[in-house]
């Protein structure tokens, strides 16, 4: 997606420092109106993709990714159904979108506005403290890209000045990872670390003493780049599985790079078929690896974008272990380094809009398996959206009070 910046503001650095605002859970803002990659809402009264895909206008069983046009069809249907379920007296007519990436979140916003015909505004945020505070605005699409999360206060004032109702006619869509949870540039490293811990636990379980962690880390880092998205599709399941295969020696890293360079290997499906052929002619591969391979191949066959489920379940355990795990009065620097926190600026905006009657819906490309416990683990762990964790950020309450 190309974004043409037509306005830019460079602002003075606010003097307010990050503060601890206690604890909360995603459910405090969204209830169960949380929808992960599988497009099956946690709110059981709201039908998901499996039961209502045809009513959403989707003609394929393949789960669309967030940036794809079919995803906007599902999002629009979920929003209108949720509005009907809460018996709101008004029809949705405007959407606010909060995210952290121009590709996934920005494109999802554009697709939704185009499809719905609603008035829209989007905020893409991050903390980039090495840069002066800057807000870029694409006036043609009403998309704002800011390098401070605290800029949300000025953004909502600007939105109100544009004549948005900000009431029961308003839909607020919020991304989870690195937006309301683990703010990009402030607290996102701990999300990535939890994911890696999940990967390492999985590799230990599958490969045991044969797991070569230094090689895995090097290859994972090398392949986790945009130049290899043709193979990995920017999908962490695909990337983790590829690096698992490389760790077994079934296919070498040099072989992989050579096939990519010659364009003989262009996508993940081809890679899985390559593994199939190697397994037919090689012995010594563990039964645990064969089971993982069969599970990945079967999930891929039915269009499941989360084929490496064993890894994602370990990621869930690693993630919730990093939520609310520190003392209430722990130093903020320690909390940000060791705990996945809620983004206070986003939390305050959610609370404010909810009080004004807006519909709040969380749409995330995060896999369900990395966010909810299995039936066996349900007695030990709560779903991610019900985990209490610290709220860290800068208050935008004064900006919100200035909106009429």
Would you give per-residue pLDDT tens digits along the chain (404 residues)? 334 445 656 565 554 699 999 999 999 999 999 999 999 999 999 999 999 999 999 987 789 989 999 999 999 999 999 999 999 999 999 999 999 999 899 999 999 999 999 999 999 999 999 999 999 999 999 999 999 999 999 999 999 999 999 999 999 999 999 999 999 999 999 999 999 999 999 999 999 999 999 999 999 999 999 999 999 998 999 999 999 999 999 999 999 999 999 999 999 999 999 999 999 887 778 899 999 999 999 999 888 889 999 999 999 999 999 999 999 999 999 999 999 999 999 999 999 999 999 999 999 999 999 999 998 888 899 999 999 999 999 999 999 999 98
CA distance 102 to 270: 29
Neighbours of 126 (CB within 10 A): 20
Q: What does the radius of gyration of the chain's CA atoms come to, in whole angstroms?
A: 22
Q: In what order do the strands lie in the sheet with 34-35?
A: 7-10, 134-138, 143-146, 119-125, 94-99, 170-174, 359-363, 34-35
Query: Are 120 and 193 within one domain?
Result: no
Coil, strand or helix at 359: strand
The two tokens of residue 35 are 């929808």
Say if 1 falls within a structural domain: no
Query: Are 245 and 372 within one domain?
Result: no
Query: Are 45 and 144 within one domain?
Result: yes
Cβ(190)–Cβ(339) below 8 Å: yes
Say if 334 falls within a structural domain: no
Instruction: Name the DSSP class of 13.
Output: P
Say if 335 falls within a structural domain: no
Say if 331 falls within a structural domain: no
Query: Are 132 and 171 within one domain?
Result: yes
Which of 318, 351, 369 is the endpoint of a domain?
Answer: 318
Say if 303 falls within a structural domain: yes
Query: Are 42 and 158 within one domain?
Result: yes
Q: In what order do the strands lie in the sheet with 19-24?
A: 19-24, 389-393, 342-343
pLDDT tens per residue, range 112-127:
999 999 999 999 999 9
Query: Are 165 and 192 within one domain?
Result: no
Q: 297 is in which domain, residue-wise?
A: 188-318
Residue 4 pLDDT: 41
Residue 385 pLDDT: 98
């599970």: which residue's tokens? 295
Residue 61 pLDDT: 78
The two tokens of residue 118 are 């609603």
Which of 287, 303, 318 is the endpoint of a domain?
Answer: 318
Query: Are 44 and 169 within one domain?
Result: yes
Query: Are 365 and 296 within one domain?
Result: no
CA distance 236 to 243: 10
Query: Are 140 and 221 within one domain?
Result: no
Query: Are 99 and 214 within one domain?
Result: no
CA distance 195 to 184: 15
Please give the tally of structural domains in the chain: 2
CA distance 208 to 177: 30
pTM: 0.92
Backbone angles phi, psi at 14, to 5 degrees: -65, 145
Say if 136 falls within a structural domain: yes
Query: Are 14 and 73 within one domain?
Result: yes
Helix (H) or strand (E) holding 110: helix 107-116
Query: Are 148 and 257 within one domain?
Result: no
Q: What is the 3-state secondary structure (H, E, C) of 24-92?
A: ECCHHHHCCCEECCCCCCCCCCCCCHHHHCCCCCCCCCCCCCCCCHHHHHHHHHHHHHHHHHCCCCCCC
Say if 333 falls within a structural domain: no
Cβ(91)–Cβ(48) below 8 Å: no
Say if 137 falls within a structural domain: yes
Distances (CA, A) of 115 to 51, 75, 90, 147, 390: 22, 10, 19, 29, 37
């505070």: which residue's tokens? 133
Neighbours of 96 (CB within 10 A): 25
Backbone torsion region of residue 306, taken as left when φ is above 0, otherwise alpha when ψ lies between -120 and 50, otherwise beta: beta
């Amino acid at each position: 997606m190309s974004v043409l910046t037509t306005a830019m503001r460079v602002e003075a650095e606010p003097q307010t420092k990050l503060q601890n605002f206690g604890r909360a859970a995603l459910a405090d803002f969204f209830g169960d109106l949380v929808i992960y990659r599988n497009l099956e809402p946690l709110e059981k009264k709201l039908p998901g993709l499996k039961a209502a895909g045809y009513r959403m206008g989707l003609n394929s069983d393949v789960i669309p990714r967030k940036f794809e046009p079919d995803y906007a069809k599902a999002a629009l249907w979920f929003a209108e159904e949720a509005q009907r379920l809460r018996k709101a007296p008004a029809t949705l007519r405007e959407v606010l979108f909060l995210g952290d990436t121009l590709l996934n979140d920005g494109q999802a916003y554009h697709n939704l506005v185009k499809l719905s015909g609603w008035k829209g505004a989007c905020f893409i945020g991050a903390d980039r403290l090495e840069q002066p505070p800057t807000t870029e605005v694409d006036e043609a699409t009403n998309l704002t890209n800011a390098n401070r999360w605290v800029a949300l206060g000025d953004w909502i004032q600007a939105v109100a000045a544009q004549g948005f109702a900000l009431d029961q006619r308003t839909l607020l869509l919020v991304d989870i990872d690195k937006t309301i949870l683990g703010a990009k540039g402030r607290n996102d490293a701990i999300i990535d670390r939890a994911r890696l811990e999940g990967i390492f636990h999985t590799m230990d379980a599958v490969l045991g003493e044969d797991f070569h962690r230094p090689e895995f880390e090097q290859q994972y880092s090398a392949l986790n780049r945009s130049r290899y998205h043709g193979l990995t599709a920017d999908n962490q399941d695909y990337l983790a599985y590829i690096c698992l295969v490389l760790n077994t020696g079934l296919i070498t890293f040099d072989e992989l790079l050579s096939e990519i360079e010659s364009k003989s290997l262009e996508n993940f499906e081809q890679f899985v078929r390559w593994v199939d052929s190697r397994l037919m002619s090689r012995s010594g591969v563990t039964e645990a690896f064969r089971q993982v391979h069969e599970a990945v191949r079967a999930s891929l066959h039915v269009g499941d974008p989360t084929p490496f489920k064993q890894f994602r379940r370990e990621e869930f355990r690693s993630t919730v272990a990093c939520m609310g795990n520190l003392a209430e009065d722990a130093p903020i620097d320690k909390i940000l380094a060791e705990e996945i926190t809620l983004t206070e600026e986003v939390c305050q905006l959610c609370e404010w809009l909810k009080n004004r009657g807006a519909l709040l819906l969380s749409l995330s490309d995060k896999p369900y398996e990395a966010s909810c416990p299995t039936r066996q683990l349900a007695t030990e762990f709560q779903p991610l959206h019900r985990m209490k964790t610290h709220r860290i950020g800068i208050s935008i309450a004064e900006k919100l009070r200035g909106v009429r």
